[in-house]
Amino acid sequence: MKNSDLFALLRGNPYPGRGILLGKSPDGGRAVAAYFIMGRSENSRNRVFELTEDGIRTKAFDESKMTDPSLIIYHPVRAVGEDTVITNGDQTDTVRDALLEGKVFAQALKTRTFEPDGPNYTPRISGLLHRDGSYALSILKSADGDPASCRRFFFGYEAPLAGQGHFLHTYMGDGQPLSSFQGEPEQVAIPTGDAQALADGVWAALNGENKVSLFVRTIDLATGESVTILKNKRQGD
């Protein structure tokens, strides 16, 4: 299967919603992770990413304008030992807690379901990046918009190929209601292992009106050293 152009995919979709990218740099020496959020409402757009001791959190840019923190204020990224958990909701904590209890990724997510935001029923997307560069992705979504039925999909990527990644996002595009992501995570080319260059490329490709915040991290697979880049539209990035 041919690797798709990540930036072209983003430019061609004005509203992929929230997205997770995991993969390996072209030289095979670095693991690559990215997470972005977008928004259509003022409440969703009134957010920034902020570094925490073990990852990042979403935070209201203007606290006085925050009307409903549920589903939009959470920790998208948390480190668990040498692993990294990335999700689009508070299931980050569910996965982290389960891993600390000796359980596995899928066990944790079988206790959760899609978001209760009908009629969209936004999928919960989650990723787990291991210290050796292998990774897993998951999506929990309603059955064609039926809130009574949950579809659970898990994808594992062992010994990932250099220069290749997998991209999972919540929506197929803009609409009313929003259409949930379909199929397997998109196989994409990782164009660079430089965190700043990757962040700049993704940020430029995301729709200028709808993008909100972006996290990019690269991890040296030999040393474990990492580089993290955050971009926030409300802070002028």
Which of 179, 135, 177 lies closest to 160, judged by CA?
135
Please, what's the b/e burial string for 161-185 (b: 16 or more CB within 10 A of its CB; e: otherwise)? eebbbbbbbbbbebeeebebbeeeb
The separation between the first and the last C-alpha atoms of the chain, rounded to the nearest angstrom, is 35
- Report pLDDT digits (tens) over 28-43: 999 999 999 999 999 9
3-state secondary structure of 232: strand
Write down the pTM of the prediction.
Answer: 0.97
pLDDT at 170 over 90: yes
- Report pLDDT digits (tens) over 174-219: 999 999 999 999 999 999 999 999 999 999 999 999 999 999 999 9
**Is residue 159 left, alpha or beta, with left meaning phi > 0 and alpha meaning psi from -120 to 50?**
left
Instruction: Tell me how far apart the alpha carbons of residues 187 and 136 are, in angstroms, rounded to a whole number.
Output: 13
**Taking the CB of residue 106, how many other CB atoms lie within 10 A of it?**
16
**19 or 67, greater pLDDT:** 19
Instruction: Tell me how far apart the alpha carbons of residues 230 and 214 are, in angstroms, rounded to a whole number.
Output: 6
pLDDT at 1 over 90: no
- Report pLDDT digits (tens) over 109-154: 999 999 999 999 999 999 999 999 999 999 999 999 999 999 999 9
**Taking the CB of residue 147, how many other CB atoms lie within 10 A of it?**
13
